[in-house]
Amino acid sequence: MKRTTVFVTAFQNFITRSILITGPLEELVSRGARVVIFVSAGKADYYERQFERENVFVEGIDETLIINNKETLLSNIATNLLDTNIKFFQKKRDLFDKKKYVKFFVLATVTKLFANIQLIRALFRWFDMRFSSTDVLDDYFTKYQPDVVFTPYIFGVHDVVFGKVAQRRGIVHVGGILSWDNATTKTLMRIKPDKLIVQNDVIKAETVKYHSIDPKTICVTGVAHYDYYRAYQPIPRNAFFQKMGIGPKKKLILISPAGSKFIDTDWHIFEMLKNAYTNGELPHDVHFLIRPHPANLADFGDFEPNEHFTVDVPGVRFEGMRAKDNELGKDDIHHLIDTLTYTDVLINTVSTVAIDSAVFDVPVITIAFDGYHKDAPFSRSTRRYLSDVYMAKLLSVGGSEEVHNEQELVEAVNKYLEDRSYRQAERKNVITQQCYRLDGKAKERIAACVLGT
C-alpha cells in the first residue's frame, strides 16, 4: 500500500514544540504517513539530527528563494486587510507616534473601508494567487509527490507559498493556527486552505469573522503540547532546585518579561521586586527566576541580578541567525515543565506562558503598567498589548490579576504566596477557553485532520 506523503513546513520556531516534538509528528508516522519537513537551510543540520529517521525526511531551503519583493508586497497588503484593534493600534498607531500622519491616515482609511468587505478579501486572494510565482518549489513537489501539504503557521510567507503550490497542483492543503494570538495579530489569511486546524473555539470564531473561513472546514483539536506537558514526569523538586542553584526550601517566583521587541521597561519590574525584597516587603524565603522569551530577549537596562535572582535563558541558537530564529528543543520543553511544576507565582506581561501556567494551576500576575515610566509612548507601552483582542479575552475570564503600580505588584505577590488557591476557579476558566480539551488526544485530532481519517 502506498504511504501518504505529507509535507510539513517548519519555518516558524515553535512548530518544533507544537508539531514535531510533542506528538503530532509521531502520530502521523504511526498512521502510515511519510513526512517531509521543510526548514530554513541554516537549521537543516539540527532538524536532521533531531527528527530524520525512517519515513521522516528533512529538506533545507534557501529562504531568499521564497521571500521576495512580490511576497513582501502581498504580505504588507494583507496586513492592512485585517481590521482588529491590534492591527489598527499597533501597526498604525506606531506611525502616528512617529508623526507620520499622512501614512497613518491613508492606511487607517484603507483598513476601515475595505478590510471587512467579503468581496475585497476574495478579490485580493484571487490576485495574490496569480501575482506571485511559486515555481521555486517544483523540484521538491516532483521529487516527493506529496498527497497533503500541512502548513502549521498559515500566516507565514513560506507557508503561504507552499499552500499556493499545493492548490495549483490540486493537492490537499491543510493550514494551521497554532498560537492563541495569530488570527488577530498577523495578516488577512492570504490563502484559504482546504482544512484549517485551530486550537480552540475562540480561534475558530476569529477565523470565521476576520478571515471569511467556512466553519465546516475548521478542525478544533486542542493543544498537543499541553497534553504532552501533563503526561511528562517532572524531575524531583530537590533535583530541580539543585540544578538551578537555588535553595530547596525557597518559594519560586517566575518572571516572564515581555522582551525588548515590545517594551523597554521589563527591567523596571525586576528592580521593583529587588527593592521590595531588600526592604522586607516580600518574604525572604523566595527566589526570583527570570525566564526571557527564547526568541525575544529582555532589556535588562540598569538592573543587576543579585543572589536572589537567577536568569534562565532557554532555547537552541543557530550560528549566523537572528535571535528570533532560536528554537525550543526537547530538553528546553522538559525544563519549562519542571520550572512550572515548582513555580509558586508567575509574573507575566503578554506571554503565552500565562496559559501554560493555568495548565499547572500556577497563580498569574499580569503587569499592566510601564514600570517607572509615567509617559511611555503607546507603541512601547503595556497599554498597547493589554488591549489586544487575544489578551482581552484571556483577561476577561479572570485567571490573572492585573497590577497597575509597584504597590499593587508587591501586594499581589504576597497575596498569592499566602493563598495559592486565590482565583483557582478562574484559572480553570482559562483552560476551558484556551485549551479546548486536555484529554491527551490533541495529537490524534491533528493527525486525523491532516490525513482526512
Phi first, then psi, for residue 59 (nearest 5°) are -125, 125
- The answer to whether the Cα torsion of 206, 209, 213, 215 is positive or negative is positive
Give the containing element (helix H, strand E) for 289. strand 286-290
User: CA 452 to CA 1: how far, in whole Å?
Assistant: 17
pLDDT per residue over 359-409, tens digit each? Answer: 999 999 999 999 998 888 777 788 777 777 677 777 888 888 899 999 999
Cell numbers for 220:
478544533
pLDDT per residue over 125-142, tens digit each? Answer: 999 998 876 688 999 999
With beta carbons less than 8 A apart as the criterion, state whether 149 and 7 touch. yes
Number of neighbours of residue 261 by Cβ within 10 angstroms? 13
Give the containing element (helix H, strand E) for 429. helix 424-435
Q: Helix (H, G, I), strand (E, B), or coil: what is residue 435?
A: helix
Give the HSE-up count for residue 435: Cα atoms under 13 Å, Cβ half-sphere: 27
Mean pLDDT of 274-303: 93
The pLDDT value given to residue 97: 67
The pLDDT value given to residue 94: 66
**Could you give the domains of the chain?**
4-68+132-223+439-451 (3.40.50.2000), 81-114 (no CATH), 234-435 (3.40.50.2000)
pLDDT of residue 106 exceeding 60 = yes
The pLDDT value given to residue 394: 79
pLDDT per residue over 156-209, tens digit each? Answer: 999 999 999 999 999 999 999 988 889 988 899 999 999 999 999 999 999 999
Percentage of the chain modeled with pLDDT above 90: 69
Q: How confident is the model at residue 217 (pLDDT cuts 50, 70, 90)?
A: very high
The pLDDT value given to residue 86: 55
Helix residue spans in 177-265 (DSSP H): 182-185, 201-211, 224-231, 237-244
The pLDDT value given to residue 93: 60
Burial class for 115, CB neighbours closer than 10 Å (0-12, 13-18, 19+): buried
Q: Which residue has the cell 531568499?
A: 64
CA dihedral 31, 33, 39, 45 (to 10 degrees): 90
pLDDT per residue over 316-363, tens digit each? Answer: 888 878 777 888 899 999 999 999 999 999 999 888 888 999 999 999
Give the containing element (helix H, strand E) for 446. helix 442-451
DSSP conformation letters of 20-60: IISSHHHHHHHTTEEEEEEEEGGGHHHHHHHH-BTTEEEEE
Cell numbers for 354:
500565562
User: CA 55 to CA 450: how far, in whole Å?
Assistant: 16
**Which one has a higher pLDDT value, 426 or 263?**
426
DSSP conformation letters of 84-138: SHHIIIIIIHHHHHTT-HHHHHHHHHHHHHHTT-HHHHHHHHHHHHHHS--GGGH
Q: Which residue has the cell 491590534?
A: 86
Burial class for 293, CB neighbours closer than 10 Å (0-12, 13-18, 19+): buried
Buried b (16+ CB within 10 A) or exposed e, 208-229: eebbebeeeebbbbbbbbbbbb
Q: Helix (H, G, I), strand (E, B), or coil: what is residue 265?
A: coil
Q: How confident is the model at residue 227 (pLDDT cuts 50, 70, 90)?
A: very high
Nearest to 93 by CA among 453, 320, 103, 5: 103
Mean pLDDT of 34-53: 96
Phi first, then psi, for residue 386 (nearest 5°) are -70, -15
Q: How confident is the model at residue 85 (pLDDT cuts 50, 70, 90)?
A: low
pLDDT per residue over 427-450, tens digit each? Answer: 999 999 999 999 999 999 999 999
